[in-house]
Amino acid sequence: MNAVDLSVQIGRLKLKNPVMPASGCFGYGEEYAPYYDLSRLGAIVVKGTTADPCPGNPPVRLAETPAGLLNAIGLQNPGAVAAAAKINKLGALGIPVIVNVAGHSTEDYCRAVRILETESTASAYELNVSCPNVASGGMAFGTRPETTAALVKKVRALTDRTLIVKLSPNVTDIVAIARAAAEAGADALSLINTLLGMAIDIKTRRPVLANLTGGLSGPAVKPVALRMVWQVTSAVEVPVIGLGGISNADDAVEFMLAGATAVAIGTANFRNPYACPEVIDGIAGYLRHNGFASVTEIVGLAKKERPGGEHGAGKTDYCP
Amino acid sequence: MNAVDLSVQIGRLKLKNPVMPASGCFGYGEEYAPYYDLSRLGAIVVKGTTADPCPGNPPVRLAETPAGLLNAIGLQNPGAVAAAAKINKLGALGIPVIVNVAGHSTEDYCRAVRILETESTASAYELNVSCPNVASGGMAFGTRPETTAALVKKVRALTDRTLIVKLSPNVTDIVAIARAAAEAGADALSLINTLLGMAIDIKTRRPVLANLTGGLSGPAVKPVALRMVWQVTSAVEVPVIGLGGISNADDAVEFMLAGATAVAIGTANFRNPYACPEVIDGIAGYLRHNGFASVTEIVGLAKKERPGGEHGAGKTDYCP
Amino acid sequence: MPVGDYRIKEIRKVADGIFRLAFAGNMEAEPGQFLQVAVGRTHDPLLRRPLSIHDCVDGEVVLLFHPAGRGTNLLAEKKPGDSLNVLGPLGKGFPLPAGQTAVLVAGGIGIAPLFYLAKVLKGAGKEIVFLAGARDTGSLYIPPELPALAADLRFTTDDGSAGRRGLVTEELPAILDRIKGEVYACGPLPMLREVARIARNSGVPCHVSLEARMACGVGACQGCTVAAVAGDWQKYKRVCVEGPVFGSGEVIL
Amino acid sequence: MPVGDYRIKEIRKVADGIFRLAFAGNMEAEPGQFLQVAVGRTHDPLLRRPLSIHDCVDGEVVLLFHPAGRGTNLLAEKKPGDSLNVLGPLGKGFPLPAGQTAVLVAGGIGIAPLFYLAKVLKGAGKEIVFLAGARDTGSLYIPPELPALAADLRFTTDDGSAGRRGLVTEELPAILDRIKGEVYACGPLPMLREVARIARNSGVPCHVSLEARMACGVGACQGCTVAAVAGDWQKYKRVCVEGPVFGSGEVIL
Ligand SMILES: Cc1cc2nc3c(=O)[nH]c(=O)nc-3n(C[C@H](O)[C@H](O)[C@H](O)COP(=O)(O)OP(=O)(O)OC[C@H]3O[C@@H](n4cnc5c(N)ncnc54)[C@H](O)[C@@H]3O)c2cc1C
Ligand SMILES: Cc1cc2nc3c(=O)[nH]c(=O)nc-3n(C[C@H](O)[C@H](O)[C@H](O)COP(=O)(O)OP(=O)(O)OC[C@H]3O[C@@H](n4cnc5c(N)ncnc54)[C@H](O)[C@@H]3O)c2cc1C
Ligand SMILES: Cc1cc2nc3c(=O)[nH]c(=O)nc-3n(C[C@H](O)[C@H](O)[C@H](O)COP(=O)(O)O)c2cc1C
Ligand SMILES: Cc1cc2nc3c(=O)[nH]c(=O)nc-3n(C[C@H](O)[C@H](O)[C@H](O)COP(=O)(O)O)c2cc1C
Ligand code: FES
Ligand code: FES
């Protein structure tokens, strides 16, 4: 069994393997610690953290859909100060700890980052710019290139730690937003966050979620996520963390072939608490089986090997 | 067994029930005719038709995904003249025949409609404005309110037949586009078309589809479609035909409770050729079981019955 | 082992809308804890289903469930010999009563965890009053061992087709007046509310087992929350880890 | 009936990577036609899987399949007594040969439709040469009835572990030189290309059964196309209705 090199680089972070849990699907790590040694992970990404404590949305917060999950947790978290204590404990794992940061307004985001800069030993921030109820006229930061860029610049000025921007898929042109984030100083991009969705209970004749709408995740969204990873990695230079519907190593390999440098696993943890370590082992198995010495060799390979060599975002359907 | 009134009105079309097959999933009706009497349908929607014949994309054109289907047929169709002959034959069914119309450029669309106006007895047009390879700088008509409105106005001027505009879900703000289409003269809206997605074969390390990307349909997309139907019917007055992932009567009822006046069924036909008539019977059963006399009573009911009565598009996830 | 594949030994319908499923396995579980059961192996249905431990003896674990929707309907189609993938036991179970007597109130499928609780309480030498309610005689399931466990076992049906006619909670005030035992309840929310109210009036502690839609079952997703009474920022508690058993005063029912 | 639930009578592995599944049912099917088989009942896997009719007798229909991915792997787990939902028979089968002799060339699982074709040809009084190729002896499956049907039956394996060593197509030119029979082929695309080339050189008609990913199976989605030789706007033909059997000169292999 020949050794394969699984390490990848995301900004200043050197990851020993490209697999991490997705924000909001792994708490602050405590819950999955009984299942395996968390230091096996490439990195750990913790729950969306806001400057102030946040109680979250009222129940019902979850609805199952075909091969998918709708959630409307509403960012329940103890706030940046209390989160910092939990984050610092994770430092003992010896792997990069990435904090997902959220807020209502630019000031909210900045305040959270300032607190985490002084109080926490976090290795990196993942800016969650897909929050629609914000100061700038009700439009989400992450749905316009200008607002994305403005926020990223502000946060960039506050920290030398690795800055990842997590993009919303609920947009017409993901590439424009990715470019704006990269140009404004993001070291890396994460995509995708959840697709906005809804479910209605035909017995009560009311929306299932108290919040009415929720975020769709899980295998159902994988084709959309993969397409966006392909498009964005064809257009920007910064590394991309691919996620959305990954539930096994084959899915993870698909994302890396599409151009992702690393992958994150969210909803799959709920079905299978061992999803992350199984994906790590499975990627190594794929590389060995196919004669690759390093995982970086397969990043974007589906673009490179394609005959014709047209590396763009592809033509689209429904056109003669 | 008390009778229930299933009839609904879409523009000038009186449908005896709110169920129709979705464009591209039912050919020109011929293929499903052996399975049941097609005159049972509320209406029939035929394949996307272009002014000139169109050979479609090279294979591979299909990829199965979790609870979903990616397709890149590429509008294979015999062109408006030959299609008109097939459409006219369907007239014998005595139900409205809706022709899905597509094109590269404004002129393409208009030419197709002009041919169909003179050559066909079609009852209505469904403008497919989600084609991205168009004259106006590579942006799809359906991803910008202005281009959508301009096209709808041009076509509106050509016909008195019912004009339905079929919206693309691959946009940041579906409501803005829906408003633009309605204001430009659309009698009704259809939503959603497919979500842009992708699949990669990890054995060949190439995209599965020859076209690289494809349109995602099927149960996987249902939560996204339902959310958009809810949002659009909260904002515009024209009737909406809801579709995207409907596979049984419960799904259809969900869409109608969300605000759809009628529903269309695409991918589900492939698994179950009887999907359409089963949905018709199932809706009638639901109405009887719950004491409704007419299907119009449940249209948008999930908004009306909600305590608090806030009828907007709902707050969104990931916000404190 | 927290995730395992077990072999189904027996599965059968024991009453209208109630299935009993026994699988081979050894588990150490508290009464009130639950398992996250995978009903299939494909991506649909996606999530595991939470089901209470109904019995747990040497080499065998038993579930009792009502086919309520897609997932539990699929579960009801399993056959002996099929494998069942299970995560658990999970959650916080029922605490032992401080005193000698416990009053268990089961509504419908709520009997699932309360039977196992009765067994454990009996083993701990406690005296048990057991009230079981159901819609009608067809849907009333009394596990064969239960009569031997409960000093006082009473049934109620909505239509009077078995036991007393009426609601399971109607006799509770009189019983609590008499014995002041600690109350344990599982059943529909309106029943739990009523049980909690009666217990409060009688001044006895009351433990309720709650249901919520779950994704992870282990506390990671924060999807399964119930409104908490405690006044800090944390307005919600997770049913899967802080529960499913709560003191009726801890949560807003 | 075009869609039906059938009861599985027997399912077993008959060779490495080959399962034989027999279900109770009466169908009128031409050789070369296929069924759209639902492998599960939930939304995942979503689509039916196209499988050729391997045999069709009074009261029984037989499939022969290679577990190639998620869907066919799930199918391989079915048990006798399970129900199987099937749409079909579908598609255009093999035409009878104009002359007296037919040469059937099967590569791997390609034997599935060709066995049924051999039966029907034999019934029509035709003489059959049957060439069957496989990777090795373990994965070579020769239906027990086949030797009685074919006047001349030859096996080939890639590694020579059974029959002649080499490719199934290698003997074809000599055979066609001798008998000029009409050729029928099913197997991997490279094999079909080679068979078509040899038949063209020998000046005999050649019928190939093609595979394509399918959604509807009935001609409605236009997803299963193959490039056609004909020169009009219709560059593509649908494998599910214009095929799966094509004259080798009709399509671009
Ligand atoms: C800790 C716990 C223990 C439980 N123990 C048992 C038990 O021992 N026996 C038993 O029969 N049931 C039990 N339940 C309820 C059981 O989990 C649900 O009935 C089941 O998950 C429904 O799944 P489904 O796919 O059949 O229904 P779905 O199709 O998912 O839903 C059917 C209906 O059930 C409701 N529902 C869905 N999930 C839940 C849920 N987790 N809790 C309550 N309602 C839900 C939905 O609102 C819907 O109206 C328990 C629930 C919890 C949280
Ligand atoms: C008309 C027709 C008749 C067939 N008859 C038989 C038969 O008798 N026995 C048999 O074993 N197989 C037959 N096949 C092939 C069979 O349909 C596929 O192997 C099967 O659909 C794969 O499904 P899966 O879920 O197992 O694999 P997937 O996981 O969907 O795919 C596994 C691999 O198979 C390929 N594949 C997927 N679908 C098809 C397809 N429709 N055709 C060819 N390759 C595909 C994919 O590219 C992938 O590499 C036939 C196909 C057609 C079109
Ligand atoms: C229950 C739940 C909570 C989530 N919370 C957050 C969050 O706090 N911040 C964030 O950026 N994304 C959050 N997400 C989105 C995930 O991180 C991920 O982007 C998405 O679920 C897609 O990946 P998946 O399909 O692997 O789950 C959450 C997702 C789920 C299911
Ligand atoms: C194979 C296939 C072909 C399609 N062709 C068209 C088309 O020609 N025009 C169009 O507007 N939509 C087309 N669609 C989209 C469907 O009409 C429908 O909007 C979409 O599939 C979502 O519905 P569903 O989930 O019920 O399939 C096609 C979809 C599929 C699966
Ligand atoms: S189900 Fe995930 S926190 Fe309880
Ligand atoms: S599979 Fe739909 S046209 Fe052939």
Q: Which of A118, A137, A116, A94 is nearest to A47 (CA)?
A: A116
* Per-residue pLDDT reduced to its tens digit, A144-183: 999 999 999 999 999 999 999 999 999 999 999 999 999 9
| Assigned domain for A286 exists | yes
* Per-residue pLDDT reduced to its tens digit, B119-166: 999 999 999 997 654 444 445 688 899 999 999 999 999 999 999 999
Instruction: Supply the pLDDT for residue B317.
Output: 36
Question: If you measure from the C-alpha of residue B164 to the centroid of ligand 3, how many angstroms do you get, rounded to a whole number?
Answer: 36
- Out of B25, B127, B224, B278, mutate this one to test ligand 4's pocket (max ligand atoms within 8 Å of CB): namely B25
Instruction: Supply the pLDDT for residue A18.
Output: 98
Instruction: Supply the pLDDT for residue A135.
Output: 41
* Per-residue pLDDT reduced to its tens digit, C184-200: 999 999 999 999 999 99
Local structure of A304: helix, strand or coil: helix
- In the chain, the amino acid numbered B301 is L
| Contact pairs from chain A to chain C, CB under 8 Å | 106
E-only strand ranges, chain D:
3-15, 18-24, 34-38, 49-52, 55-57, 60-65, 83-90, 101-107, 127-134, 152-157, 164-165, 182-186, 206-209, 225-227, 236-238, 245-247
What span, in angstroms and rounded, lies between the C-alpha atoms of A308 and C34?
A: 55
Q: How many Å separate Cα D132 from the centre of its chain?
A: 12
Q: Is B308 left (phi over 0), alpha (psi -120 to 50) or beta?
A: left
Asked if C45 has any chain D CB less than 8 Å from its own CB, the reply is yes
What span, in angstroms and rounded, lies between the C-alpha atoms of B88 and D134?
A: 51
Domain that holds residue B176: 8-58+74-196+218-303
Atom 9, ligand 2: which residue's CA is nearest? D65
Query: Which residues 87-146 of D are in CB contact (within 8 Å) with B?
Result: 87
Summarize the confidence of residues A292-307 as an average pLDDT: 89
D65 ligand 2 Cβ < 6 A: yes
Query: Which residues 41-70 of D are in CB contact (within 8 Å) with A?
Result: 43-44
DSSP string, A136-190: TTT--GGGSHHHHHHHHHHHHTT--SEEEEEPPS-SS-HHHHHHHHHHTT-SEEE
Summarize the confidence of residues A180-187 as an average pLDDT: 98
What are the counts of helices (DSSP H) followed by strands (DSSP E) for chain C? 5, 16
Instruction: Supply the pLDDT for residue A141.
Output: 81
- Out of D72, D78, D92, mutate this one to test ligand 2's pocket (max ligand atoms within 8 Å of CB): namely D72
Instruction: Supply the pLDDT for residue B306.
Output: 55
pLDDT surpassing 60 at residue A5: yes
Instruction: Supply the pLDDT for residue C242.
Output: 96
| Assigned domain for A250 exists | yes
Contact B73 D44 (CB under 8 A): no
Subunit partners of chain B (3 or more CB pairs within 8 A) = A, C, D
* Per-residue pLDDT reduced to its tens digit, A85-104: 999 999 999 999 999 999 98
| Assigned domain for A67 exists | no
pLDDT surpassing 70 at residue A1: no
Question: Is B131 buried (19+), middle (13-18) or exposed (0-12) by CB count in 10 A?
Answer: buried
Distance between first and last Cα of chain C:
33
Check: CB of residue B167 under 8 Å from CB of residue B193: yes
Domain count, chain B: 1
The share of chain A scoring above pLDDT 90, in percent, equals: 88
Instruction: At C54, list the tokens.
Output: 């109904």
Instruction: At B108, list the tokens.
Output: 């393409």
Contact D236 B267 (CB under 8 A): no
Atom 10, ligand 1: which residue's CA is nearest? C65
Confidence at B319, pLDDT banded by 50, 70, 90:
very low
What ipTM was estimated for this complex? 0.96
- The ligand minimizing its distance to the Cα of D219 is 6
Average pLDDT score over chain B: 92
Query: Quick one: which atom of ligand 1 is closest to the CA of A208?
Result: 47
pLDDT surpassing 90 at residue A307: no
Report in angstroms the alpha-carbon separations of A290 from A248, A254, A294, B202, D227: 17, 14, 11, 10, 32
| Assigned domain for B1 exists | no
| Assigned domain for A201 exists | no
| Assigned domain for B145 exists | yes
* Per-residue pLDDT reduced to its tens digit, A244-253: 999 999 999 9
- Out of C211, C213, C214, C242, mutate this one to test ligand 1's pocket (max ligand atoms within 8 Å of CB): namely C211
Question: If you measure from the C-alpha of residue D91 to the centroid of ligand 2, how many angstroms do you get, rounded to a whole number?
Answer: 16
Check: CB of residue C172 under 8 Å from CB of residue C198: yes
Check: CB of residue A197 under 8 Å from CB of residue B224: yes
Contact B219 C44 (CB under 8 A): yes
From first to last of its 253 residues, what are the pLDDT tens digits of chain D? 589 999 999 999 999 999 999 999 999 999 999 999 999 999 999 999 999 999 999 999 999 999 999 999 999 999 999 999 999 999 999 999 999 999 999 999 999 999 999 999 999 999 999 999 999 999 999 999 999 999 999 999 999 999 999 999 999 999 999 998 999 999 999 999 999 999 999 999 999 999 999 999 999 999 999 999 876 677 899 999 999 999 999 999 9
Nearest residue of chain D to residue C40 (CA atoms): D42
The share of chain B scoring above pLDDT 90, in percent, equals: 88
Contact C216 A272 (CB under 8 A): no
Check: CB of residue D209 under 8 Å from CB of residue D52: yes
Summarize the confidence of residues A256-283 as an average pLDDT: 98
| Assigned domain for B320 exists | no
| Assigned domain for B67 exists | no
Confidence at A27, pLDDT banded by 50, 70, 90:
very high
What is the mean pLDDT for each group of 10 consecutive residues in chain C (253 residues)? 91 97 96 97 97 96 97 96 97 96 97 98 97 96 96 95 94 94 96 97 97 97 93 86 96 93
Local structure of A303: helix, strand or coil: helix
* Per-residue pLDDT reduced to its tens digit, D40-60: 999 999 999 999 999 999 999
Atom 28, ligand 3: which residue's CA is nearest? A24
What CATH number has the domain bearing residue A231?
Answer: 3.20.20.70
Instruction: Supply the pLDDT for residue A2.
Output: 64
For every residue of C157-183, which 3-state class applies, written as one string? ECCCCCCEECCCCCCHHHHHHHHCCEE
Confidence at B2, pLDDT banded by 50, 70, 90:
low
Q: Which residue has the higher pLDDT, D62 or B318?
A: D62
Query: Quick one: which atom of ligand 6 is closest to the CA of B62?
Result: 1
Question: If you measure from the C-alpha of residue D50 to the centroid of ligand 2, how many angstroms do you get, rounded to a whole number?
Answer: 7
Nearest residue of chain B to residue D214 (CA atoms): B62
Question: Could you tell me which residues come within 8 angstroms of residue D199 by beta carbon, excluding any fewer than 6 positions away?
Answer: D172, D176, D183, D205, D206, D248
CB nearest to A270's CB, from C44, C221, C226: C221
D238 ligand 6 Cβ < 6 A: yes
Q: What is the DSSP letter of A297?
A: G
Instruction: Supply the pLDDT for residue B315.
Output: 42
Summarize the confidence of residues A98-116 as an average pLDDT: 95
What span, in angstroms and rounded, lies between the C-alpha atoms of B163 and B167?
A: 13
* Contact residues on chain D for B26, CB-CB shorter than 8 A: 220
Asked if A190 has any chain B CB less than 8 Å from its own CB, the reply is no
Instruction: Supply the pLDDT for residue B312.
Output: 36
Q: Which of A149, A45, A148 is nearest to A101 (CA)?
A: A45
CA of A198 to nearest chain B CA: how many angstroms apart?
Answer: 5
pLDDT surpassing 60 at residue A311: no
* Per-residue pLDDT reduced to its tens digit, C111-162: 999 999 999 999 999 999 999 999 999 999 999 999 999 999 999 999 999 9
Atom 5, ligand 4: which residue's CA is nearest? B24
- In the chain, the amino acid numbered C65 is F
Instruction: Supply the pLDDT for residue B131.
Output: 62
Q: Which of A62, A193, D136 is nearest to B318 (CA)?
A: A193
Local structure of C117: helix, strand or coil: helix
D212 ligand 2 Cβ < 6 A: yes
Contact A55 C241 (CB under 8 A): no
Confidence at A316, pLDDT banded by 50, 70, 90:
very low
Instruction: Supply the pLDDT for residue A130.
Output: 77
